[in-house]
Structure 1
């Protein structure tokens, strides 16, 4: 397909959503769109035209969307929350390498949603915010948006003759989430960017080095419940106001190379993680990154085995990174100094001082935290990728984390190859070298030693319109460690195969599309012992009226070994195993699940799911103060007057039910509510006891006074702890970097348990509260 030449203009259009500027008359025009969802390259329901022009400093885009005025779906939403209503969007592949593109979207009021699409990833990363100007307006004939995008907000190839990958689309929400695109979408070709067109003519962009400096000031007053020897329930201590000053800076060395640094960055909790069920959980939970410094260039450091997980850097004093692309080489370097590992509490510091005094009279006394006190963990990350062919690459990943008595280094290679239009092969192989503490189940002790490990991931994926399949292998050896990354389980291998059969999409039929999926998996440790297996099938249906249904049946198998939970018993009996009774447990585990989602109208949307699982293991951890252990071993020990040693774990089969429900309600264009609820109930089979029941509620409300000013409330409730966390936040965010927040966070229990005595605490008990003011301002200078 021939490139579309974008004309250069001399006069900047006024960004007001009216499309009445002379500049648009000489702009390039994109029209005659194709409906690509739910229809398959058919005529769109409504016409759309897009106009594009540029000057030395800005790219100008305008969208003209014909529609009935009273049927347009749009609200005064917060940034990055507009793709659930009518919107338009463009993709800018600024390196024309079909690997990465900016996705910039706007609703009918011009509210922005921006992100990075990395080919082969699970979705778009909307954590990225770029500085741009946009405005929308609703007219009698429909709606329009105008946008002014600074080239200095983008990273692009510095060649004189610039060709960018490009596509543009419109989303009409009420027509079954219809997507209309400038170019047709061949569903038998895997990927997104490979199917886009190209724009050219952007040869007179003025090269500018840009320095962005964002100083921030936070004033915080915290009240916290602390232990008190005279008041066992503890007491509330009001701490003095704490000022916290930090600075973030970004320097664009070239249009495609950027240096970022942060000195004492303030990461006040503006938005907390969603609550999750922590009971009966064996492995750590992955939480998404939300901190601005680590979000810039995040896609460069992503890979299948997650050798770098930025949330392992908890509280950095300083962090810096250099990211970019030159020619066919993409690179990223990151360094950080994290004070969190050596930042002990005041009580721990007092105990350490007392220990040091005792050490003077008895040199054999060890003060366990002294060598770690106020020490920082140091991080280093190196990422390289070399493109070749149409959409292939080979890459290197290296990470390092050092702390007293803990050193970890990870390095290895990865790559992706397109075998044909529909088939992609990808892999990653990593090795780790560690000098740190390792737990030995055979000796039941922690040993300070050297450990070397291996991790691998291999995937072959074929995606077409009506068929698709995936074959995967992944594993991590027993001594594999990734202290700067995320590895939720080691000493495991897994094999996975999935298949999909689909009907052709019919946008006018009652049943628009039906997908039938089947999969099998098998897990085993590095000794060859089975850990688990699964076979499942699922059906999902897309119906008229933004309505979808799904059902799933699974038949699984799980095998437990006591050395995965603690010590492994020996023949002499000197080491008691982690399990009471048999050292292994296994179970066949069938399950059924059902779900639905429905956008009822422009104001209301709901989703719900329920799952039933039989013979799920209760690992016998208990679930906090409210739910103790209910295994036969533990109950027998309690009934026997708690005499004898504390009983080992006694995992057993249980019935589990999980319910999830969510609703979003927009009573006005400026106000929206959302409620998320989940219920998890685990009932032990052998003792006929309730292991736990967890209820999680999250209630959000947001009122947008203007596009940039809002008032937000949030309440999280966890029934396991009888704990409630609440936040009220006023914010003004005119652009990425400039912000003003006033917030109040509260944390309390009602008829819960005291955190120091573990005893029931009737009535209201506050754990802590914080009032904060946070101010930041973006200074931007180009030269």
Structure 2
């Protein structure tokens, strides 16, 4: 990093800090909401015509918490609450001066973000650590998930089984929901329950208002600490809490083999999932011969000029239930690593201030990520493997959380274990300190490195002790060098961070070290032999209600990474500005200056200094987002500037464009279009140009059923004459592939489902007219959740 760039960074921080003020006022006042108990049946139909609703507790939702600072709501919203010892009933009466502008579309679960929404947060242990989130749009489409204050993560991955209904009328809309206690974790007691609660409404018009029944102070970074307290459910029990879900999957798979002939496989599988609340504090999930396939294809991604593995979200129900019990500062439990198990069991529990999670499973094979500091690669170990994870957390008091985590993967001649402690200290309402320390022990099979060798020539795969190998002239790689340990090895990781957030400022400093011997094979750990120090500061401004803009952020971040020997890998300075305005619009502009090393010059050594070229990159980033019309969302981003050409170890020029259009044509039909363009030039000539098109059309017949057509087209062109270290005839000049999927789904709830689907893949190295189909699948899945 040049001196002038360093001066720019620290000058930015000093200028911003000149305006800084700090306040540690805590506005954590818990007003109580007494929920009345009722008897008799209630139909969830958004009509509110049962006499029980006359006894419900009325709560006004009249405070705008975002983008404004606790200002009066321009619209009237009220919530009605009552309970019968088994379910919590909530109704929302959301008035609107112009009902024709209500944004409500029929959607699949968790797809209604951006619509008008009403809902509730529930902290059922009232300990300010985690909360359930249940939201509904005006037509009854559901969103549910978990918020974790300890890790600062929010996820819609968790799916509960609950009822909701919504209807739009001439005054606005009404939503009614029933939340069974059996799906919630809480402590049974003879006295009344006291839960943290927030009732809220999302009102997207010229600007998107978040309206609540509570005040959320900008000067308090902990939202769950500011919830009100709901009192009710005296002596409530969770019941037997037993769900048994048998599933049947029938499918046919056709694929072109190495002899260019079709191979056909039929598959019929029965599986069984069980969810049993052994006690009110202990939950068991078990599965036998599970169908762990994902029904919907992953979000498409380009993977060119990238040395590290891509991350994909988990979608499989067995792993998602109570997945937050395994969260920690590092991603140590990445269950997409587990491919095809024969069985699985997961035990999660909580008692007073103690919580734990434990799961065990097997797998037909073992996929592991081999990390490095310049690249990572996926490896496969044949034969069955076993995997397990243990997570324990102790809430010492309101401000201190302590934890332990252990993971284990084993197979023939292979094992990886990780053990570690972590803690979070909430120093003030604005300041948090976190750390996690880990130790790992690993043993690789002696021949693991061979799968990264050149299949045509394994004789020169391993370097001799004094062998020199110039870049591009041998078959060595970082992955080979990191998989040739002849005996078990160990390593350590450490993450320490301090974070401050108040009304006008946020700043942070964190240190992250994973040494060369550390492995976290059950998690997603792609970088090791690296020590990273990061410092950042944000300045925030807010508009007065009624202005054309709502908030403005100015940010500066500095980052430096070195290997275990203190040799520079990367030093980066990023400065950015973001403004949010009407029509849910935003513009984000960023500048990045980075010094970064390229590929190793001598592939037989892992050294950085004297073995790499240090490149200086300057890059600009611009993104824009807007919802100009009802049901239309436009998003685009652009990146332009220097980029390392890793294939040829030189500095190039990158142009990256991304555009997204989401259009709700009507309440039933949604069209999604994504276009990605990535181009890299080097030495005044094009190296590659990649284009990815992702089109998805969904017709939602009702909130329970839909038909979706997906098409993903990948078109990549390379210039063989601009690759310095490979023969032109070895470079694929053109590659085009098309993936399609047609899926019909009918869902009574997240576990009682019917799917019927077809997918195929076509590929060519010529023009589109030469596409050849090489894969076909057709499948049907049925599962039924029996609950007691």
TM range (shorter): 0.7 to 0.9
Deviations 1:140-171 (A, max 9, x none): 11110111111101111223332101001000
Instruction: State which of 638, 650, 675 in structure 2 corresponds to 1:677.
Output: 675
Look up the match of 2:363.
338
C-alpha deviation, 1:608, in angstroms? 0.3
Q: Which residue number corresponds to residue 739 of structure 1?
A: 753
Which region of structure 1 is more displaced relative to structure 2, 116-125 or 53-62? 116-125
Does 1:126 find its partner at 2:156? yes
Does the 8 A contact of 2:754 with 2:780 survive in 1? yes
Shift of 1:26: 1.0
Unaligned residue ranges in structure 1 (runs of 5+): 229-233, 344-368, 570-576, 621-649, 754-759
> What's the counterpart of residue 639 of structure 1?
none
| Residues 221-370 of structure 1 aligned to structure 2 (within 5 Å) | 221-228=252-259, 234-239=260-265, 241-341=266-366
Indicate whether 1:752 and 2:765 are aligned: yes
What residue number does 2:774 align with?
Answer: 767
Instruction: Output the CA distance in 2 between the equivalents of 1:120 and 1:508.
Output: 35
Is 1:170 the counterpart of 2:168? The answer is no
CA distance in 1, matches of 2:264, 2:345: 35
For 1:33-44, list aligned pairs within 5 A.
33-44=62-73
Please report how far the alpha carbon of residue 517 of structure 1 lies from its aligned counterpart in structure 2 after TM superposition: 0.5
Given that residues 98 and 391 in structure 1 are in contact (C-alpha distance below 8 angstroms), is that contact kept between their aligned partners in structure 2? Answer: no
Matched, 1:591 2:619: yes
Indicate whether 1:722 and 2:736 are aligned. Answer: yes
Partner of 1:608: 636
Q: Are 2:200 and 1:202 equivalent residues in the alignment?
A: no
Q: Check conservation: 1:514, 1:539, Cα contact below 8 A.
A: yes
Gaps of 5+ in 2: 1-29, 369-378, 450-461, 466-475, 717-734
Report whether the alignment pairs 1:698 with 2:694: yes
1:293–1:168 distance in 2 versus 1, CA, 3 Å: same
Is the CA contact 1:384–1:396 (under 8 Å) kept in the aligned structure 2? yes
Question: Residues 112-135 of structure 1, C-alpha deviation per residue, up to 9 Å, x if partnerless?
Answer: 110011114454210111111111
Cα 1:761–1:178 shift into 2, 3 Å: closer
The answer on whether the counterparts of 1:55 and 1:204 sit within 8 Å (CA) in structure 2 is: no
Q: Which residue of 2 aligns with 1:636?
A: none
Distance in 1, Cα, partners of 2:43 & 2:238: 24
Matches within 5 A, 1:64-143: 64-67=93-96, 68-143=98-173
Shift of 1:566: 3.7
* Partners of 1:176 and 1:544 within 8 A in 2: yes
Equivalent residue number for residue 388 of structure 1: 396
| CA contact 1:656–1:681 (8 Å) conserved in 2 | yes
Query: Number of residues paired by the alignment?
Result: 699
Aligned mates of 2:464, 2:341 — CA distance in 1 = 37
The answer to whether the aligner puts 1:399 opposite 2:444 as a matched pair is no
- Pairwise CA distance, 1:247: 1.1
The 3-state SS of whatever aligns with 1:294 is helix
Alignment-derived partner of residue 650 in structure 2: 652
The residue number in structure 2 matching 1:154 is 184
Distance in 1 between residues matched to 2:527 and 2:621, nearest whole Å? 26
Q: Deviations over 1:504-544 (max 9, x none)?
A: 24231122211101111111011000100111110000112
Contact 1:56 1:206 in 2 (8 A): yes
Distance 1:566 1:184 in 2: 59
Mapping of 1:304-703 within 5 angstroms? 304-341=329-366, 375-437=383-445, 443=465, 446-560=484-598, 562=600, 566-568=603-605, 583-614=611-642, 616-620=643-647, 650-685=648-683, 688-703=684-699
Deviation digits for residues 18-71 of structure 1, max 9, x if unmatched? 222221111111115201112210011211000111012111000000102212
Post-superposition shift, 1:275? 1.9
* CA apart distance, 1:603: 2.0
Q: 1:255, 1:3 → 2: CA distance?
A: 25
Residue 785 of structure 2 corresponds to which residue in structure 1?
A: 778
CA RMSD, 1 decimal: 2.2
Distance, in Å, in 2 between the alignment partners of 1:83 and 1:281 is 31
Q: Is the 8 A contact 1:752 1:762 kept in 2?
A: no
Q: Decide whether the 8 Å contact of 1:158 with 1:254 is kept in 2.
A: no
Q: Which residue of 2 aligns with 1:184?
A: 215
Bigger CA drift: 439-448 or 651-660? 439-448
Question: Which residue in the other structure is 1:11 paired with?
Answer: 40
SS at match of 2:220: coil
- Tell me the residue number matched to 1:358: none
Q: What is the TM-score when the length of structure 2 is the normalising length? A: 0.86
Task: Give the alignment partner of residue 706 of structure 2, picking from 707, 710, 713.
Answer: 710
Specify the alignment match of 1:355 in structure 2.
Answer: none
Name the CA distance, whole Å, in 2 between partners of 1:442 and 1:128. 51
Aligned-pair CA distance for 1:235: 2.1
1:26 to 55, 75, 80: 55
Task: Sort the Cα spacing of 1:267 and 1:203 in 2 relative to 1 into closer, same or farther, 3 A.
Answer: same
Change (3 A) 1:166 1:560: same
Contact 2:650–2:682 (Cα < 8 Å) also in 1 = yes
> Given the two structures, how large is their TM-score scaled by the length of structure 1?
0.86
Structure 1 residues 460 and 747, CA gap change in structure 2 (3 angstroms): same
Q: Partner of 2:174 in structure 1?
A: 144
**1:452-483, Cα deviation, whole Å (9 max, x unpaired):** 10111111111112111111110110011111
Which aligned segments of 4 or more residues in structure 1 are displaced greater than 3 angstroms?
120-123, 437-445
Structure 1 residues 190 and 746 mapped into 2: Cα distance closer, same or farther (>3 Å)? Answer: same
Sort the Cα spacing of 1:762 and 1:84 in 2 relative to 1 into closer, same or farther, 3 A.
closer
Contact 1:262 1:320 in 2 (8 A): yes
The 5 Å alignment of 1:47-62 reads 47-62=76-91
Structure 2: distance between partners of 1:545 and 1:169: 20
- Structure 1 position 717, deviation (Å): 1.2
Supply the distance in 1 between the matched residues of 2:137 and 2:509 (Cα, whole angstroms). Answer: 39
CA distance in 1, matches of 2:423, 2:507: 20
Query: 3-state SS of the aligned residue for 1:390?
Result: coil
The 2-side partners of 1:421 and 1:548 are apart by: 29
Q: Could you tell me how far apart the structure 2 residues matched to 1:97 and 1:705 are?
A: 41
- Which whole-Å deviations, capped at 9, do the CAs of 1:540-584 have from their partners, x for residues lacking one? 001122211110011111024628x94229xxxxxxx999xx831
Change (3 A) 1:325 1:227: same
Q: 1:37 to 1:307 in 2, by over 3 A?
A: same
Separation in 1, partners of 2:283, 2:131: 17
